[in-house]
Amino acid sequence: MARRIVIAGNWKMNKTVSEAVELAKAVVAKASEAPANVDLIVSPTYVCLTEVAKVVAGTRVALGAQDMHWEESGAFTGKISAAMLVSAGVKYVILGHSEQRQYFGETDETVNKKTRQALKHNLIPIVCVGELLAEREAAKTNEVNERQLKGAYAGISAEDAAKTVIAYEPVWAIGTGKVATVEQAQEAQAFIRKVLTGLYGAAVAEIIPIQYGGSMKPDNAKGLLAQKDIDGGLIGGASLKAEDFIGIALGA
């Protein structure tokens, strides 16, 4: 069975509620242009979720969140739970993004706790992994991706792993305009699938979509999406314009 292509916009800390609604409407209006095998996701900030949920309800665009906490509820000021995301209409949640790792103390262990909790609440985790520039230059790309992947999936069953999405995001390519070459991306993603095969067997590894993320744009998407192990994109900057976001999906 061919893997689905998952094109997800990560709006990061951009857009007020009214701006987010406007952008979501523009994405919905263009969504029919995207090929039928593509799943489209928009991920606004928490405060915009419920309003954007109304815009995407009943359309082919699904709602994602940018993070969540691993506990059910309680004294965790500033945090949001899986149940709250579900109640707001969220289907996907981005976990372990490099900005969370870099600025907010995310570790492989917290990514694992969040991934388990998301699955418990039937949210689809988009698990992000990727190496820093210094790690790539030190020929540690595979080592880093394997460590992050095994950390994120520790104790997760094959049945649950099969429900997840992975985003390979070389940190040096995020928001920098420096896109990985198709060869670099394909090589890293084939390695990620090999690690998944070791963890869960070929049948499960073959159905988990692996997105590429890092300065993806309409003009470089086609080449990336043509690669055997690149099954979509996690898109930051270019997801803030509906035309560019859908333009990337057109490359699938």
The dihedrals phi and psi of 80, each to the nearest 5 degrees, come to: -135, 145
| Interface with ligand PEP (CB under 6 A), residue from 151, 232, 236, 251 | 236
| Interface with ligand PEP (CB under 6 A), residue from 130, 214, 247, 251 | 214
Residue nearest to ligand PEP (CB): 236
Q: What is the DSSP string of 187-229?
A: HHHHHHHHHHHHHH-HHHHHHS-EEE-SS--HHHHHHHHTSTT
Residue closer to ligand PEP by CB (options 214, 247) is: 214
121 is catalytic: no
Least distance (Å) between residue 240 CB and ligand PEP: 9
Looking at 39-47, 114-122, 168-176, 201-209, which segment touches ligand PEP (CB under 6 A)? Answer: 168-176
Q: Given 69, 97, 135, 146, which residue is catalytic?
A: 97
169 is catalytic: yes
The residues, any chain, with a CB within 8 Å of residue 65's CB and separated by 6 or more, are 43, 46, 49, 80, 85, 88, 90, 92, 93, 94
Least distance (Å) between residue 239 CB and ligand PEP: 7
Q: Using the rule CB under 6 A, is 237 a contact of ligand PEP?
A: yes
Least distance (Å) between residue 214 CB and ligand PEP: 5
The answer to whether 250 touches 218, Cβ cutoff 8 Å, is yes
CA angle 134, 137, 141 (to 5 degrees): 85
Amino acid identity, position 41: I
The residues, any chain, with a CB within 8 Å of residue 129's CB and separated by 6 or more, are 96, 144, 145, 148, 149, 152, 166, 167, 168, 169, 192
Looking at 30-38, 64-72, 137-145, 209-217, which segment touches ligand PEP (CB under 6 A)? Answer: 209-217
DSSP 3-state assignment of 127? strand
Least distance (Å) between residue 98 CB and ligand PEP: 7
Helix (H) or strand (E) holding 186, with range, is helix 182-200
Residue closer to ligand PEP by CB (options 81, 220) is: 220
Q: Given 106, 135, 146, 169, which residue is catalytic?
A: 169
Q: Using the rule CB under 6 A, is 249 a contact of ligand PEP?
A: no
Least distance (Å) between residue 221 CB and ligand PEP: 11
Q: Using the rule CB under 6 A, is 96 a contact of ligand PEP?
A: no
Answer positive or negative: Cα dihedral of 27, 163, 45, 130. negative
| Interface with ligand PEP (CB under 6 A), residue from 35, 175, 198, 201 | 175
| Residue ranges binding ligand PEP (CB under 6 A) | 10, 169, 174-175, 213-216, 234-238
What residues are annotated to the active site? 97, 169
